[in-house]
Amino acid sequence: MKSMSPKPECPPAVPGRELRIRPMTPGDFEPLHALLSRPDVMRYLEAPYTREQTSAFLRRACSEDPPVLAAEADGTFIGYVIFHPWDPASIEIGWVLFPEYWGRGYASALTGMLIRIAREKGKQPVIECVPAQKATAHIAGKFGFVRTETRDGLDVYRLIR
């Protein structure tokens, strides 16, 4: 099966910042745990992670195909991106970032990068989110995604244009 992982290096997307995505490594444990253990970050996802849960997540992240990808700005771990098959024609995209990167263009820049990579692979980008997650819905709308359904309690947005 052909790997669906994005290119490890992506061009800068936030003016003045080097933004890239790359496969996670075991060395990402501490910043990943700092991210996943925060109640404000995990509010719409699940309960904050323990160190053991983070360790299990990271083991899976490093071994999956495609792997879970870290997001970096100027060489600093700022979170991770979601980029995996959603159905045969679609790839789910998304992001989980530290709050200090919220509202500053990073999620939008990552969304643009992931849309481009999905399209290069001939796949339709899909975003899923809890209906109360207004910031994600806003970014989806900004890029032309349209809410097409609710599945398992999550709003599903598909890129129409």
Q: What does the pLDDT look like over 73-91, one tens digit per residue?
A: 999 999 999 999 999 999 9
Do 105 and 87 form a contact (C-beta atoms < 8 A)?
no
Domain boundaries, the chain: 19-126
SS3 for 22?
strand
Task: Specify the CATH superfamily of domain 19-126.
Answer: Gcn5-related N-acetyltransferase (GNAT) (3.40.630.30)
- The distance of Cα 100 from the centroid of its chain, to the nearest Å, equals 16
Residue 61's pLDDT is 84
Residue 18's pLDDT is 84
Residue 64's pLDDT is 79
Name 44's Cβ contacts closer than 8 Å, sequence gap at least 6: 129, 130, 132, 133
By residue count, the chain amounts to 161
Condensed to tens digits (0 to 9), the pLDDT of residues 21-74 reads 999 999 999 999 999 999 999 999 999 999 999 999 998 888 877 778 999 999
Integer angstrom CA distances of residue 122 from 36, 88, 108, 115: 31, 11, 21, 10
